[in-house]
Amino acid sequence: MLASRDFAALALLGDLRDLAPGFYARVGEIRRLPRGDLLVRLNESGTFAILAASGVTAQRLTDVIPVEQDLINRNQRATELDLRYRDQVIARLP
């Protein structure tokens, strides 16, 4: 699940497990990018990458859930969901 030892990412995963166990169960990988941001990948094949700022909270990470559902309802698929912008989830489409 973690590419390297990252205590902040481990704490985030623990908080996510407590807050949203269903979403936590979908997390396949979380790793820190060279600029310090986090990259989260879900277990499902063909899913989008989630980009988040280094201090992202579990609550903020779950903000992708309604966006993901909206994309499904519109029959669209994102390549990436970006949480690095304040109070926004940017969906990048292919």
pLDDT averaged over every residue in the chain: 92
Residue 25 lies in a domain: yes
- Residues 64-83, mean pLDDT to the nearest whole number: 95
Query: Furthest-apart CA pair in the chain: how many Å?
Result: 38
Structure tokens at 55: 């201090």
Residue 59 has pLDDT above 80, yes or no: yes
What range does the domain containing 26 cover?
A: 7-92
Domain total of the chain: 1
66 pLDDT higher than 70: yes
pLDDT in tens, 23-48: 999 999 999 999 999 999 999 867 78
Amino acid 2: pLDDT: 59
What would you report as the CA-atom Rg of the chain, rounded to the nearest whole angstrom? 13
Domain of 29, CATH number, reads 3.40.50.11690
**pLDDT above 70 as % of the chain:** 95
